[in-house]
Amino acid sequence: MSTKAERTTAFIIETVAPVFNKHGYVGTSMSDLTQATSLTKGALYGNFENKEALALAAFEYNSNRLLTAIEEQLSGTGTALDRIFRLTDFYRNYGEFTDAMGGCPVLNVGVDANHNNKMLSAASKETIKTIEGKIALVLENGVNNRELRLPVTPLQFAKQLYTMLQGAVAMSTMTEDRKYLLNTVAYLEQLVKKELK
DSSP codes joined into one string, 77-138: SS-HHHHHHHHHHHHHTHHHHHGGGTS-HHHHHHHHHTTT-HHHHHHHHHHHHHHHHHHHHH
The residue among 69, 70, 82 whose CA lies nearest residue 192 is 82
DSSP one-letter code for 3:
-
Domains observed in the chain: 59-196 (1.10.357.10)
Q: Which residues lie closer than 8 Å to 9 by C-beta, 6 or more apart?
A: 47, 48
pLDDT at residue 187, as a whole number: 96
pLDDT > 90 fraction of the chain, expressed in percent and rounded: 88
The band of 1, judged by pLDDT with boundaries at 50, 70 and 90, is low
pLDDT digit string, tens, across residues 37-90: 999 999 898 889 999 999 999 999 999 999 999 999 999 889 999 999 999 999
